[in-house]
């Protein structure tokens, strides 16, 4: 087919550049891109790597090399530095390394070449990452770090990008390890997520919601019941920060599948049930002000929750909500349009 021929052409002309670009990116990150203001150039290199990696026929050796580079950077960053300036450079490099790791996972997840062995390759990469992502120090948070790396806004962007990349990686790690998560591990992940939500902004919250969605059943089963309403309340606050921003809809679309996950909607703890009711009421109220919110809410509930509810337990539990939905919208009387 035409698409197949295009893929072959791109693989031949672009895929061969991937290894050289990996080497050049590592060189640039270590020697030149060491300031908070270099963030856009760092993003450019990782975007190029993603595009080339998806068209490379022999991508795995270079991906392994990238993960080795990431490991070295993260261990150096965790060890610290003697001077405030060097510590700031390590923090920027650490952010770059985590973004590189998220790019590695994106390539593995989307590469047609790795399609047949994707699960095994992700398992290999997860095992190769030698430092737990939860142990990574937040950029510019350590005592003695230099404030001269960039403006306050630039430093804020580094922190937000770091959190976003970290949770993109966490999503793959959690997907791989979720069957073995115990109560303490789930509670720890939820606690980390809430802590990072209070620090990050914009798209970093979306990455957190998407990662937590992977373990939503485990959260419902193992997390302390009081933590779930606390998380929903914090998530709502973060959503409202974007109310007049274009990110609002992206954040809402990532929050609804998590906040209205089946495992949470069928939770029987009174504290969780009350938190769910409050969360849905907030969505309902906002939906009367903003067109489209109620549709997203009930498209998820009807398309994903009630679709797999053979004994109608959930439909019975949330009858009042469903009745309200049936009457939602403009009321048309005879003679009125």
User: Could you tell me if residue 111 is inside a domain?
Assistant: yes
Domain stops at, among 128, 143, 158:
143
Is 73:137 a contact under the CB 8 Å cutoff? no
The answer to whether residue 19 scores a pLDDT higher than 60 is yes
Per residue in 293-304, pLDDT tens?
A: 888 888 888 777
Residue 1 is predicted with a pLDDT of: 46
Q: Which residues neighbour 297 within 8 Å (Cβ) at sequence distance 6 or greater? A: 256, 260, 280, 283, 284, 287
For the chain, report the end-to-end CA distance as a whole number of angstroms.
50
User: Could you tell me if residue 175 is inside a domain?
Assistant: no
User: Could you tell me if residue 172 is inside a domain?
Assistant: no
Same domain membership, residue 271 and residue 210: yes
Is 109:118 a contact under the CB 8 Å cutoff? yes
**Closest to 115 (Cα-Cα) out of 52, 54, 67:** 54
Its domain, for residue 9, covers 1-143
Q: Specify the range with the lowest mean pLDDT, choosing from 55-59, 126-130, 131-135.
A: 131-135
Considering the entire predicted model, what is its pTM?
A: 0.87
Q: Specify the range with the lowest mean pLDDT, choosing from 50-54, 166-170, 176-180, 229-233.
A: 176-180
Same domain membership, residue 138 and residue 210: no
C-beta neighbour count of 33 within 10 angstroms: 21
Q: Say how far apart CA 282 and CA 303 lie, in whole Å.
A: 21
Same domain membership, residue 186 and residue 134: no
User: Could you tell me if residue 150 is inside a domain?
Assistant: no
* Angle formed at CA 235 by CA 169 and CA 288, multiple of 5 degrees: 130
User: Could you tell me if residue 80 is inside a domain?
Assistant: yes
Look-up: residue for tokens 């902004």? 201
Q: Say how far apart CA 95 and CA 145 lie, in whole Å.
A: 15
Per residue in 209-255, pLDDT tens?
A: 999 999 999 999 999 999 999 999 999 999 999 988 889 999 999 99
Same domain membership, residue 63 and residue 204: no
Same domain membership, residue 310 and residue 192: yes
The number of folded domains in the chain is 2
Same domain membership, residue 188 and residue 94: no
Same domain membership, residue 186 and residue 125: no
- What number is the average pLDDT over the span 110-117? 87
- Size of the chain in residues: 337
pLDDT, the chain, mean:
84
């Amino acid at each position: 087919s035409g698409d197949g021929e295009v893929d072959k052409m791109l693989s031949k002309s672009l895929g061969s550049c991937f290894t050289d670009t990996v080497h050049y990116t590592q060189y640039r990150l270590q020697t030149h891109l060491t300031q908070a203001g270099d963030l856009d150039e760092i993003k450019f290199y990782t975007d190029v790597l993603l595009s080339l990696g998806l068209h490379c026929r022999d991508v795995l050796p270079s991906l392994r090399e990238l993960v080795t580079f990431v490991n070295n950077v993260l261990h150096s960053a965790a060890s610290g530095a003697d001077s405030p300036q060097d510590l700031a450079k390590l923090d920027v490099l650490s952010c770059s390394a985590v973004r590189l790791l998220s790019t590695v996972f994106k390539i593995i997840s989307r590469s047609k070449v790795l399609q047949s062995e994707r699960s095994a390759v992700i398992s290999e990469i997860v095992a190769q990452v030698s430092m737990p992502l939860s142990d990574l120090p937040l950029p510019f948070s350590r005592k003695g770090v230099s404030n001269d790396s960039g403006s306050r806004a630039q430093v804020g962007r580094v922190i937000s990008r770091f959190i976003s990349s970290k949770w993109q990686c966490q999503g793959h790690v959690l997907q791989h390890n979720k069957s073995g998560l115990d109560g303490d591990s789930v509670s720890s992940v939820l606690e980390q997520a809430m802590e990072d939500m209070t620090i990050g902004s914009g798209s970093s919250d979306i990455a957190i919601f998407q990662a937590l969605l992977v373990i939503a059943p485990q959260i419902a089963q193992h997390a302390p019941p009081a933590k779930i309403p606390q998380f929903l309340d914090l998530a709502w606050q973060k959503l409202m920060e974007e109310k007049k921003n274009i990110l609002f809809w992206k954040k809402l679309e990532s929050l609804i599948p998590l906040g209205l996950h089946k495992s949470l909607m069928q939770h029987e703890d009174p504290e969780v049930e009350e938190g769910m009711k409050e969360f849905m009421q907030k969505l309902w109220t906002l939906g009367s002000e903003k067109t489209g919110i109620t549709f997203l809410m009930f498209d998820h509930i009807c398309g994903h929750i009630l679709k797999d509810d053979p004994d109608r337990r959930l439909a019975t539990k949330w009858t009042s909500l469903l009745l309200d939905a049936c009457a939602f919208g403009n009321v048309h009387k005879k003679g009125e349009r």
